[in-house]
Amino acid sequence: MACADRNDLPLFPLSNVLFPGGVLRLRIFEPRYLDLVRECCRDGSCFGVCLIIEGSEVGAPAVPAAIGTIARITDFYTLDRACSASPPRAASASASNARVCATTA
């Protein structure tokens, strides 16, 4: 299934935006977003990046903008090992800190 065909994308609300054609480097450390990355790496799915309207990036869930950008993970690595694969390898279940490079899908 193509990313654009999905109606139920997981969201990654941020205090900045990902413009179409752009690249976004993320440092992932919260369990809910490590799970999101793990799922996207495992099945090659996409996620939505949207601006935070109310709240913050860390802690309680934030209120996201109604419009965002569909993103795909193009690179993934944890602090203890690097990987750059196409498609990216699945995130380790024990990962406590990850860096992700995402581009628009």
φ/ψ of residue 24, rounded to 5: -130, 125
> What gap in Å lies between CA 57 and CA 75, rounded to an integer?
21
The residue among 98, 89, 104 whose CA lies nearest residue 40 is: 89
SS3 81: strand
What are 25-56's pLDDT values in tens digits?
888 888 888 899 888 888 888 999 999 999 88
Indicate the pTM of the whole model.
0.71
pLDDT value at position 87? 42
Low-confidence winner among 18-22, 83-87, 99-103 (lowest mean pLDDT): 83-87
What are 85-95's pLDDT values in tens digits?
444 444 444 44
